[in-house]
Amino acid sequence: MITAIVLVRTAADRIPETAQAIADLDGVSEVYSCAGDVDLIAMVRVAEHDQLADVIAGRMSKVDGVVHTDTHIAFRSYSRADTEATFSAGLD
């Protein structure tokens, strides 16, 4: 699974509608509205790299209200659950 974090700037008066339209796209697992330099953060999860171009450049960037996207591709995932599973292996 390939995960991309997409920072999205939107038209200020279209944030809720833009967020919902992005959330409805296949390949988008979550969309968060947030404070800071960007308006939305979208999590994209796909099986192949080619699908990133389809989801982000092909569809997300064309959603009404999207002004700019900045994509970050994740290499590894670290979480408390992953760490606990690793260190508890074989202890049961």
Residue-wise pLDDT for 21-62, tens only, equals 999 999 999 999 999 999 999 999 999 999 999 999 999 999
**Which overall architecture, per CATH, does domain 2-87 show?**
2-Layer Sandwich (3.30)
Q: How confident is the model at residue 84 (pLDDT cuts 50, 70, 90)?
A: low
CA distance 47 to 33: 25
| Lowest mean per-residue pLDDT among 25-39, 59-73, 75-89 | 75-89
**Domain residue extents for the chain:** 2-87
Predicted local confidence at residue 42, as pLDDT: 98
CA distance 83 to 13: 41
What value, to the nearest 5°, has the Cα angle with vertex 65 and ends 39 and 73? Answer: 55
Residue-wise pLDDT for 9-29, tens only, equals 999 999 999 999 999 999 999
CA distance 6 to 1: 16
